[in-house]
Amino acid sequence: MRVVISIGGSVLAPDLDARRVEGHASVVETLARDGCEIGAVVGGGGVARDYIGAARDLGANEVQLDQIGIDVTRINARLLIAALGSQVDPKVAHDYEDAGDAIRRGDISVMGGVMPGQTTDAVAAALAEYVDADLLVYATSVDGVFSADPKSDPDATKFEEMTAAELVDVIGDIEMNAGSSAPVDLLAAKLIERAKMRTIVLDGTDPDRITPAVLRGEHTGTDIIPEGGDEPTYWAP
């Protein structure tokens, strides 16, 4: 089974904590040992937002801020690589071909951002499509996609299941400034829709929630069901 796991900066690196990074690396290694081929894409987290905030105060434009964000995601990718064992490609992949080559060789590949105007959510969706992944998992700071931002709307309700077209509708109004927050960004949602990619959005604060979701489809987040896609298949016996 080929899986792309997007580890949001909010769960991997809200601040710098080696133990937290180790926890995520351990989950990725366990899945790889179980026979999964893995591409991991990591976000920028609190450090990226701090840098973006400071540079915005200094007058940087949004593309320059995105470039700062990308640099930080790649530093976080290096952290995850440092925590992974010998099965990882030691280079941060800067494009989908390099990541795809590493995955086909049997290595775990780790990416950060690639270009301004998007977030690592879109990188993960494009990588999943490029390597023809069976599953795309977003480990983020909220347990799924809600009808509105659950942090600001107490009446927001969670979708246990939704189509990619519904996902596009729900997140379409969220701002796309450098450093903005969304469970999945709009470009990612459109890529998921066109690739008919089976996708799970879940709370990855505790990385151990990722393993049962990947192996058995067990989670409490949101399943994004491809219209016209394949029936889910699970790896675990």
Ligand-binding annotation for 109, yes or no, is no
Task: Pick the stretch among 19-27, 69-77, 88-96, 139-147 that binds ligand ADP (CB under 6 A).
Answer: 139-147
Sign of CA dihedral 57, 63, 69, 74: negative
Site string for ligand UDP, 36-65 (x = CB under 6 A): -------xxx--x----------------x
Interface with ligand ADP (CB under 6 A), residue from 88, 103, 137, 142:
142
* End-to-end alpha carbon distance in the chain: 13
Task: Pick the stretch among 2-10, 52-60, 87-95, 123-131 that binds ligand ADP (CB under 6 A).
Answer: 2-10
* Residues sharing a CB contact under 8 Å with residue 86, sequence separation 6 or more, in sequence order: none
- Decide: is 139 part of the binding site for ligand UDP (CB under 6 A): no
- Please give the Cα distance from 200 to 164 (Å, whole number): 11
Pairing of strands 199-203, 222-225: antiparallel
- Please give the Cα distance from 80 to 197 (Å, whole number): 25
User: Can you read off the two tokens belonging to residue 153?
Assistant: 């709307």
- Tell me, by CB under 6 A, how many residues bind ligand UDP: 22
- Please give the Cα distance from 192 to 187 (Å, whole number): 9
- Decide: is 73 part of the binding site for ligand UDP (CB under 6 A): yes
Interface with ligand ADP (CB under 6 A), residue from 26, 30, 141, 163:
141
Scan for tokens 């979708």, then name that residue.
159
CB atoms within 10 A of CB 132: 10
Residue 139: its H or E element: strand 135-140
Residues forming beta bridges with residue 158, ordered by sequence position: 146
Minimum distance from residue 121 beta carbon to ligand ADP (Å): 6
Q: Which of the choices ligand ADP, ligand UDP, none does residue 141 contact, using the CB cut-off of 5 to 8 A by kind?
A: ligand ADP
Q: Which residues bind ligand ADP (CB under 6 A)?
A: 8-10, 43, 140-142, 145-146, 148-151, 170, 174, 181-183
Q: Which residues bind ligand UDP (CB under 6 A)?
A: 8-10, 43-45, 48, 65-66, 69-70, 73, 113-116, 118-120, 123, 178-179
Annotated binding-site positions for ATP: 9-10, 45, 49, 140, 146, 149
